[in-house]
Amino acid sequence: MARESYAVIGIGQFGASICESLVAAGQEVLAIDSNPEVVNELAGTVMRAVVADAQDEDALRDLDIGHFDHVYISIGKNVGASIMATLIAKDMGADDVICRAENVNHARVLERIGADLVVRPEHDLAKRLVFQQLNPSLVDYVNLSKETTLAEIDINNPKFYGKTLDELDFRNKFRVNVIIIVSQDEQINQMPQADDVIQPHDKITVVGNLNDIKRLNEIVQKHKGEK
């Protein structure tokens, strides 16, 4: 993964986890918070940790926020500070601003003022857990956009076994594209071809509309255990 620059504004539990994950991935991280104690705790971990007010435009300008590859606004309950930091970051030219929202109204405002991605961690986690319980063959999924989802599906349907991708015709029958096949012994096929054969309990990674992926998953589940 290419090394990029990240600014994380607001170092609560969520922001600290973002910093930790980015550092583990070898990325350059600037951590910003108004609490000196929080900043001192991160000082030896991230590339740079700074005490600053997220609503102070001059302070963020001095930190050159607009030139970071990605800016996380992870401020918690101070909705006003979250909104102001987002406005300032976008006004300074930040290309990718990812914001944490406390509720649906907060999320709506952040989207209106230009946030590139808005997340509600607890809400999103709850939805993900319920979705995966209701769709157990979906091993994992990521929403790439409002229209496109990437998902890994465990193929439990014997009617798929021993057939090629060409025969199964995922694109026309299910309106999804198969981009990776992982076998039961963890062999990874990152460039599947039309003549590749689906084996029992292969996992396939597909890209498509979430509703189409759910329909495919239902078919896999419907026939689970059939011979």
* Residue 24, pLDDT above cutoff 60: yes
If you search the block for the tokens 């992926």, which residue do you land on? 213
Q: Global pTM?
A: 0.67
* Residue 225, pLDDT above cutoff 70: no
CATH of 5-120, one of 3.30.70.270, 3.30.70.1450, 3.40.50.720, 3.40.50.740: 3.40.50.720
Query: Beta-carbon neighbour count of residue 94 at 10 Å?
Result: 22
Q: Measured between alpha carbons, how far is residue 143 from residues 10, 116, 126, 223 in Å?
A: 25, 14, 15, 26
**Secondary-structure class of domain 135-222 per CATH:** alpha beta
pLDDT of residue 76: 76
CA 213 – CA 138 distance, rounded (Å): 9
CA 161 – CA 65 distance, rounded (Å): 52
What residue spans define the domains of the chain? Answer: 5-120, 135-222
Judge contact between 203 and 181, C-beta under 8 A: yes
Amino acid occupying residue 189: N
The region of weakest confidence among 37-41, 79-83, 115-119, 215-219 is 215-219
